[in-house]
Structure 1
Amino acid sequence: MKLLLDFLPLLLFFATFKYADAQPEWAAGFATEHLGFLVSGGQVPAEVAPVLLATVVVMAATVAQVLFLKLTRRKVDLMLWISLVLVVVMGSATIYFHSEMFIKWKPSLLYWAFSLTFLVSHLVLGRNLLRKMLGGELQLPDDVWARLNWAWALFFGAMGFANLYVAYEFSSSAWANFKAFGSTGLIVLFTLAQGIYMSRHLPAPDEATDGAADAKEQGR
């Protein structure tokens, strides 16, 4: 359920863009009629209408996602709050200026926010986010946790630049494909690689049991 909720805004963005991109004249007319009052000049060009409509949908979906979590008394992660702020700010700029580049920058800013969070928590606060999230389930050496933290920081930094490269060098359709499948696939592959790396440094079952017992004893 949580996985579907996390990916729902992305899926709705992609579906809306593809539908509108297949009939840009209709999309331009629909966007001008229903969103013209929000757009500078009141007219939505056909070449940006698909992205604009998809942006409106992803903004509404992200707001609904946060409201659903709040109403069901579930935790709203910090990164979701950051995503909400970015999608509202960059989405509003996309709509008003009818320029697709604003919303295309949003994933990069989000990736860089992730990267900065990993770096600041480690270098400034002296905390390892991965260890905080997974340390209760996995026992790994300190240097391994540090490498994993650095790896995620560098990965998200690189993903931000990759998104901008696709946004500026390829069509909006290609960028939408990359956003929905390319970036998601890269994250899945990187996560799998991290899992393999962690598995090579996990203690043997008997060592893990002893380590857990020692930790419990020290906590008394």
Structure 2
Amino acid sequence: MRFLIDFFPILLFVAAYKLQDIYTATAVLMAATVLQTGIIYGIDRKLQTMQKVTLVLVLVFGVLTLVLQDERFIKWKPTVLYASMGIVLGAALWGWKKNFLQILLGSQLTLPTAVWGRLTVIWVGYFLFMAAINGYVAAYYSTEDWVNFKLWGYIFPVVFIIGQGLYIARYIKDDSNGAEKS
């Protein structure tokens, strides 16, 4: 269910682009992201930092796209988002000696400190890769190609999440065995 909630703004964006144009698609993306954020808040009664940042960037870059009638803004929004997240995670880990990924997810996952460090480096690499690939497609391909990339490019996060799950699975302790031994 959560995957559908995460995916529906991009599906609506692509559909609106195919039926109309990039400006209609941008307005649809903005509305869908507001709705998505409301649904997530309704379910969880809170928003993660990434959800808040995504909402703000979609609205800011969307408004710039619509007001200035310049599609480059919405096309570069993912690059700004991914690069920002990669830079913040990297700066926190190497500059401030804080592991934001562990701070954000540590209450949900118990992993060794070294694994949290490697996981954060992997996330930094992923975010910077996604920023670079979106920037490349936005700069060198047509808007039609970029929109198609937004849809089919979802393979990258799916592969990343599966790979990450496989990586951390060996470090997650099975609490059910411990509960039975007590």
Q: What is the TM-score normalised by the length of structure 2?
A: 0.83
SS of 2:159's partner is helix
* Separation in 1, partners of 2:130, 2:136: 10
C-alpha distance 192-66 of structure 1, shift in aligned 2 (>3 A) = closer
Give deviations 1:44-81, integer Å, cap 9, x for gaps. Answer: xxxxxx11110010111112233344566721221111
Identity of aligned residues (%): 35
Pick from 180, 196, 214 the counterpart of residue 166 of structure 2. 196
Matches within 5 A, 1:149-164: 149-164=120-135
- How many angstroms does 1:102 deviate by? 0.7
* Separation in 2, partners of 1:189, 1:72: 26
C-alpha distance 138-69 of structure 1, shift in aligned 2 (>3 A) = closer
* Equivalent in the alignment of 1:3: 3
Matched, 1:129 2:101: yes
Give deviations 1:98-147, integer Å, cap 9, x for gaps. Answer: 111110011111112221332244232623414641564443x3222211
* Separation in 2, partners of 1:12, 1:120: 34
Matches within 5 A, 1:82-161: 82-123=53-94, 124=96, 126-130=98-102, 132-133=104-105, 136-139=108-111, 141-161=112-132
- How many angstroms does 1:179 deviate by? 1.0
* Separation in 2, partners of 1:7, 1:203: 28
C-alpha distance 204-92 of structure 1, shift in aligned 2 (>3 A) = closer
* Separation in 2, partners of 1:136, 1:99: 41
* Equivalent in the alignment of 2:141: 170
- How many angstroms does 1:2 deviate by? 2.9
One-letter code of the match for 2:14? F
Give deviations 1:11-66, integer Å, cap 9, x for gaps. Answer: 1101111122xxxxxxxxxxxxxxxxxxxxxxxxxxxxx11110010111112233
* Separation in 1, partners of 2:109, 2:43: 27
Q: 2:85, 2:127 within 8 Å by CA — same for their partners in 1? A: yes
Greater C-alpha Rg = 1
* Equivalent in the alignment of 2:33: 62
One-letter code of the match for 1:81? K
One-letter code of the match for 2:105? M
C-alpha distance 130-187 of structure 1, shift in aligned 2 (>3 A) = farther
| Structure 2 spans left out of the alignment, 5+ residues | none
C-alpha distance 209-89 of structure 1, shift in aligned 2 (>3 A) = same
- Count of aligned residue pairs for this structure pair: 178
Q: What is the TM-score normalised by the length of structure 1?
A: 0.70
